[in-house]
Homo-oligomer: A and B are copies of this chain.
Amino acid sequence: MSARDARNAHVRAMRTPPVVERESSAAVDLGPLSGFIGYRLRRAQLQVLAGFEQALREIGLSPGQLSVLVVISRNPGLTQSDVCTALGIQRANFTPLLHALEATGLATRQVLPADRRSNTLQLTALGRDVLVRALALHERLERRITDCLGGGGRAQLAELLRKLEAL
């Protein structure tokens, strides 16, 4: 990095023709990697994830938890499996996620009388309240993204990603 650059700075300044430049900081060639969608996706997702945690820090919801709250808020009475398939979560991974929402008093399970294997999900009053606040905080993140991409870019990105889900 710049360590070695600093070390060799005098050499370069006096005698080195600025040809090789000794890997000066950002001079790393990513080659075909720059065009890999998967690579770009990973880095972008990490960045947005960091933004999410920052934006929702005071509430402390994970992305998955927020998504579940949104879905059961708009579709009261869905079963766990319904939510899982809607969100692309494994049923096995959904159990602890949901239990966390129950433990914090945001959601409740209720056995469906018509099929006593199934649990239907509802938000508590607290859950509705927290959801509203979380969505407001999340707006900040989305605004940052819009500022970064422009309104059109943001819409394009959402659409392209949506298409990609059907890969």
Contact = CB atoms under 8 A, between A and B. Distances in A.
Interface of A: 1, 4, 7, 23, 28-49, 51-52, 63, 67, 70-71, 73-75, 77-79, 81-83, 85-86, 88, 114-115, 118, 135, 138, 141-142, 144-145, 148-149, 153-154, 156-158, 160-167
A7 to B, nearest CB: 8
B51 A167 contact: yes
A134 B160 CA distance: 26
A47 B165 contact: yes
Chain multiplicity (copies): 2
A13 B166 CA distance: 32
Contacts of A7: 114-115
